[in-house]
Structure 1
Amino acid sequence: MDGLVTTEWLADSPQILVLDATYSSTVPGSSPRDPRAEFETEHIAGACFLDLDSLIDETSPLPSTMPTIAKIAERLRSLGVDTETQIVVYDNSPHHTACRAWWILRLAGVDVALLDGGMAKWKAEGRPLESGPHNARRGEFEPRAPKAHARSLEEMKTTKEQIADARSATRFTGEEKDPRAEVAAGHIPGSRNIPYPLFFNPDRSWKPLAQIRAVFEDNNIDLARPLVTTCGSGITAAILAFGAHLLGNEAALYDGSWSEWGSRPDTAKALGPA
């Protein structure tokens, strides 16, 4: 299964498990939403609700920190996933949060793909929808070797990897204050700014591979070299990681991202363009 699948492909693949990965709660500037209620009102026919908002480490003081492998595995079993189940994730979010789900599930070695265009494209094409909750049988999923990798604060302090930051240009340069009062403005020294909307067409589908590659290259990222992605809280950083994945670069993700780096007194902060 390819990393990015079309609505046409999914409509013709009834054996695929589809998971709604819409997420809301800690994306700064987002309007209040209830993804579960939205799912029960309307979702892709046959899909299950991943509940990405709760698939986190609830003991962490940082927002949306990645969960343990054990928690990922238990969530998947509760959704009927077996070890060989093929999964497609989608979202109904301007932040393309299915990319975060893609990254989280790959930490447990899951074979998972993204639905290109998500819910918006599926609905625009008049494809089947359902309402109400979806009750799945219990699966027997067991984690495998990870397909995704995280970076810690200590690793980021000494990394020689390229760093790509998915936040807006004004957040990156420090022209705009961070929405979290305890977090400084600016960016990790040496990082490059690639605002995540650059990868998408107006209908929320991904741009062609040549244009995705150009986005990285235009921002001085060499996809032949190791890469780590970052953002505000590790959500949109997964978009950059997915884009790199499509081009053969298995980028790591700094899960603490700027909410961690920018709040620490012992980390250097840069202002202005890269």
Structure 2
Amino acid sequence: MAERSKWLVDTDWLENHLDSPDVVILDGSWHMPQEERDPEAEFARTHIPGALFFDIDKIADLSTDLPHMLPSAEVFSAAVSNMGISDGQTIVVYDVIGLRSAPRLWWTFRVMGVQDVYILDGGLPKWKAEKRPVTDAIQPRSKGHFSARLDHSAVRSHEDMVKAIRDGGVEIVDARSTERWRGTAPEPRPHLPSGRMPGSKNLPFGDLIDEKGMLKDVDFIKQRFIDAGVGLEKPIITTCGSGATAAILTLALDTIGQQRLSLYDGSWTEWAARPESVIERD
């Protein structure tokens, strides 16, 4: 089997560590509004034993109308501590799709300074398919002590994107569907035009995930980025609709050894809503 990401842990490993006090399991499931799913209610019905639900829309910068933007290090530290998470623990994140929003939570903890944060390979679908234990019992943890250290270099703002487009020398890779990127299909969020940032490349996140909800292997991923016209020798900024699935591209790029990576947190929801933004379409 070809090499895959060092940030993935398999279901055997996690089942063997369910009772480890230094392993924290987080369900980071999130769905687009039009999917009309309540991830927290789904979590309450079925989750991996000992898991906690992490709401990326609540532990966020609530001063903006943009969805699930990174909070400050102080806000994040307080929220995570209250969940019962402490410095030095190993964090394993998953979602109910297989690989959709878990990479966003993985990226968030990485940006906040956590080294030992991993994604459950195949997520809850693989776990359940293997008939591993699930529960509806929620086990709160006693308060922890977590100190976030925000890596500002890993996060891009609208102003950063304007500068990056103007100056060149970086690759911007968009995880949305090709039709949305070309401007030929509507955005799922109302009142937002579709289209793309000038000079951006397109690699729909689903192209990097197999039918079981698992990240594809290194050779496939590298070739897919090359086929999309991405210059892998350059710094790369990932983007998507709202900053969630862009993290799948970030995970994939890390997997093939890219180190100069950042993510545009506001992504298309911010870019398309700003009247000064330049939008290209086919």
User: Is the shorter-chain TM-score for this pair beyond 0.5, marking a shared fold?
Assistant: yes
1:209-254: CA deviations, max 9, x gaps?
A: 1111121111112333210001111111111111111122242010
Q: Distance in 2 between matches of 1:11 and 1:224?
A: 39
Once the two structures are TM-superposed, the CA of residue 180 in structure 1 deviates from its matched residue by 3.0
Matched, 1:203 2:208: no
- 2-side partners of 1:21 and 1:91: how far apart? 5
Give the paired residue count: 269
Distance in 1 (alpha carbons) for counterparts of 2:71 and 2:99:
20
Q: Where does the alignment leave 5 or more consecutive residues of structure 2 unmatched?
A: none
Aligned to 1:19: 26
Q: How does 1:64-79 map to 2 (within 5 A)?
A: 64-79=68-83
Aligned pair partner of 2:6 in 2, 7, 12 = 2
The one-letter code sitting in structure 2 at the alignment partner of 1:206 is L
Matches of 1:63 and 1:239 in 2, distance apart?
A: 17
Once the two structures are TM-superposed, the CA of residue 184 in structure 1 deviates from its matched residue by 2.0
CA–CA separation in structure 1 for the residues paired with 2:98 and 2:242: 16
Q: Is the 8 A contact 2:205 2:249 kept in 1?
A: yes
Q: State which drifts further: 6-15 or 135-144.
A: 6-15
- Aligned equivalents of 1:213, 1:13: Cα separation in 2: 32
Match of residue 265 from structure 1: 275
* 2:53 aligned to which of 42, 49, 64: 49
Match of 2:129 among 117, 124, 127: 124
Q: What percent identity do the matched residue pairs reach?
A: 37
Distance between the aligned counterparts of 1:2 and 1:75, measured in 2? Answer: 27
How far apart, in 1, do the equivalents of 2:149 and 2:269 lie?
30
Give the superposed CA RMSD: 1.8
List gaps (5 residues or longer) in structure 1. Answer: none
Q: Given that residues 73 and 149 in structure 2 are in contact (C-alpha distance below 8 angstroms), is that contact kept between their aligned partners in structure 1?
A: no
Q: Deviations over 1:76-132 (max 9, x none)?
A: 212221110010100013761011111111221012111111000000011111112
Report the counterpart of residue 151 of structure 1 in structure 2: 156
What residue in structure 1 maps to residue 87 of structure 2?
A: 83
The one-letter amino acid of 2:70's match is M
8 Å contact kept, 2:98–2:121: no
1:165 alignment counterpart: 174
Q: Deviations 1:190-210 (Å, cap 9, x if unpaired)?
A: 000100001111010111111
| Aligned mate of 2:262, from 241, 252, 255 | 252
Residues of 2 paired with 1:43 and 1:131: CA distance?
Answer: 6
Task: Give the conservation status (yes or no) of the 8 Å contact 2:24–2:92.
Answer: yes
3-state SS in 1 of match to 2:92: strand
Q: Answer yes or no: is the 8 Å Cα contact 1:106–1:147 preserved in 2.
A: no
Does structure 1 conserve the Cα–Cα contact (< 8 Å) formed by 2:94 and 2:102? Answer: yes
Write the letter of the residue equivalent to 2:236. Answer: L
